[in-house]
Chains A and B, each alone.
Chain A
Amino acid sequence: MNGFTAFLRKELLEHVRNYKVLILLSVSAIFGMMSPLTAKMMPDILANVKVEGMVLKVPEPTFIDAFVQFFNNFSQMGMAILLLVFGGLLSQDLAKGTLIIPLSKGLSRYTVILAKYAAALILWTLSYVLAITIHYGYTLYLFKPISVGHLFFSLFCLWLFGAFLLAVLLMASVITRGTYGGLFVTAAGLGILLICQTIFRMDTFNPLKLVSENVALLTGKAEFDQLLNIAWITGALILAALILAMAVFKKKSI
């Protein structure tokens, strides 16, 4: 346990001093403020854009539109930034050889994986909660609130996908070599999931649904039960990725 807290502390310190915290918190705050604002300003923005002399008529934006923007921002830019920021999570430590001394001091290799995951997850959760808080405050101020279904679960789905991404990234970094190996493999994995979803319509198990059905959940157009299943499956996948990462890392030549 000593090793875990010591290494977790080191990870968090690294995130602070290597600007990861600065980036994630400010981007989250920006997304939180920008999403409701963009939704609100959309008619005005479009009013200024004249397409072939015609003025576009846009219906008055609603409470839901703010969430549309929020989920758009987070599921695309947000995930890309998450990947970029944590791309070197383990690879960098391995490539530079900085893990050798801590391991020689008796740090368990399992602990390395778990502490790294925990630190990344803490940072992702903090940023996400910050974004939600700001977003919700702005949305309540700018729009007339209406009752929506499964708001918490919908937000949770996106968080879970972020957690899934981090676990896959960690696993990919253990398997590959080089500073960006993990990042490429994870990106490739996402590509495969995307192909499964858009071309083969493999919907029932696909974790990508966690970031594509959020608004549908709010408006009641998505099947809650199916998404709940996917959430459980994703949870299991996270666990599997971490266990695999630990098993492979244990036997890795340093």
Chain B
Amino acid sequence: MNILEVRHIQKNFGKHPVLNDLSFSVPEHSIFGLIGKNGAGKTTAMKMIMGFLKPTGGEIRVCGENVAYGNTATNRFIGYLPDVPEFYGYMSAKEYLMMCGRITGLKRLQTSKRIQELLPLVGLDGIKRRIHSFSRGMKQRLGIAQTLLNKPKLLICDEATSALDPKGRKEILDLLSVAADQTTVMFSTHILSDVERICDSIGLLHEGKLALHGKLSEIKNTYRKEAVRIETLNEAQARRLLEHLHALSFIQSVERSQNAVTVQLHDPQKNGLKIIDVLSDEQIPIMNYELLEPSLENVFLDVIK
């Protein structure tokens, strides 16, 4: 079942179209990464799912129910973490979560119990300070605790890791992976390594549309380049290798930068052996030999070219 379905969404700010016929769906129990450059419309799309912005056209369904602009009942299924979450600085984390829990319809006892579970999970247990003294990472973790209060079916995190240092980013990503055991996560970012780390499917937002949409592993397979990278000990050897490789028929292209040679070839598993033959015949020692995996970054750059 699809938790979220976005159909033909259109959004103009003035005359400038931000989203243009955007459609995608997120199946249950997946971690969906929405990728795009800054200003591609990720936040706009998420705000429309929350009913905070009115789409110029199209429809959005959450758990099979239509999202209505303004007061939308579909928000009871969703936990939302905005890109820069703003809290009431004069409250403590516990007070804030208590307020959120009550708003979302939990009973006082249920909320207390849930807070007891969540505070240790996000590492804010026993912190009695007011929120205005929290660091960015702490606020982000409090933001995640807040989203999980009512055990949402869909967790939407907007740029949850962008403003954080590497340690803070890892903490948030780990939290999201844990959360994904019980819910569906949709998470936007422009940091590709974060997506590779936890997402199982992705959508690439480019020029108001999804330029790419599907399972991460499948996308990587489709964009697999058949390439090998060989590092020699010094530049002279690399230059020599380059000359010999040019002579081989199955090689599509060869490039050298300093002592590394990148080779594009057909059927690298079979023909790769022939390269190794060349290496041993010519007595060229190597430091490293690897089959190149397509990185999301390459795919990304390829698609938006």
Q: A residues touching B (Cβ–Cβ < 8 Å)?
A: 2-3, 5-7, 9-10, 13-14, 17-18, 96-98, 100-110, 250-251, 253-254
Contact = CB atoms under 8 A, between A and B. Distances in A.
13 contacts: A6-B99, A9-B99, A10-B88, A10-B99, A18-B90, A98-B86, A100-B80, A101-B82, A101-B86, A102-B99, A103-B50, A105-B103, A105-B146
Most chain B beta-carbon neighbours within 10 Å: one of A5, A101, A103, A253:
A101
The 9 closest A-B pairs by CB, nearest first: A6-B102, A104-B80, A17-B90, A97-B86, A254-B52, A105-B104, A98-B86, A250-B70, A105-B103
A2 B105 contact: yes
A96 B98 CA distance: 21
Interface stretch (B71-79, B210-218, B294-302): B71-79
A108 B82 contact: no
A101 B95 contact: no
Interface in B48-97: 50, 52-54, 69-71, 73, 75-76, 78-80, 82, 84-88, 90-91, 95
Contacts of A250: 70-71
B52 A105 contact: no
Contacts of A100: 52, 80, 82, 85-86
Given A97-B84, A253-B52, A102 B103 contact: yes
Which of under 10, 10 to 19, 20 to 34, or 35 or more describes the interface residues of B? 20 to 34
A151 to B, nearest CB: 39
A101 B71 contact: no
A7 B82 CA distance: 20
Given A3-B103, A13-B95, A110-B71, 18 more contacts: A2-B105, A6-B99, A6-B102, A96-B86, A97-B82, A97-B86, A100-B85, A101-B87, A102-B103, A103-B52, A103-B75, A104-B75, A105-B146, A105-B149, A107-B103, A108-B71, A109-B70, A254-B47
B75 A101 contact: no
Contacts of B95: 13
- Per DSSP, chain B at the interface is loop
A210 B53 CA distance: 41
A248 to B, nearest CB: 11
Contacts of B47: 254
B75 A106 contact: yes
B179 interface: no
Contacts of B85: 100-101
B143 interface: yes
Contacts of B245: none
A102 B71 CA distance: 12
A105 B150 contact: yes
Interface of B: 47, 50, 52-54, 69-71, 73, 75-76, 78-80, 82, 84-88, 90-91, 95, 98-100, 102-105, 143, 146, 149-150
B71 A13 contact: no
A105 B105 CA distance: 9
Contacts of A14: 88, 90
Given A251-B70, A254-B52, A104 B78 contact: yes
Contact of B103 (A7, A97, A109): A7
Most chain A beta-carbon neighbours within 10 Å: one of B75, B104, B150:
B104
Given A101-B80, A103-B52, A5 B88 contact: no
Contacts of A103: 50, 52, 75
A155 B71 CA distance: 39
B75 A105 contact: yes
B105 A98 contact: no
B100 A101 contact: yes
B87 A98 contact: yes
Contacts of A98: 86-88
Given A18-B90, A251-B69, A102 B52 contact: no
A253 B53 CA distance: 5
Contacts of A101: 80, 82, 85-87, 100, 143, 146
Contacts of A110: 71
Contacts of B88: 10, 14, 98
B73 to A, nearest CB: 8
Contacts of B98: 6
A110 B71 CA distance: 9
A196 to B, nearest CB: 35
Contacts of B54: 251, 253
A103 B103 CA distance: 9
Contacts of A2: 102-103, 105
Contacts of B69: 251
Contacts of A106: 73, 75-76, 103-105
A155 B100 CA distance: 39
Nearest to B146: A101
Contacts of B91: 10, 13
A104 B76 CA distance: 8
A7 B90 contact: no
A250 B54 CA distance: 12
A254 B146 CA distance: 19
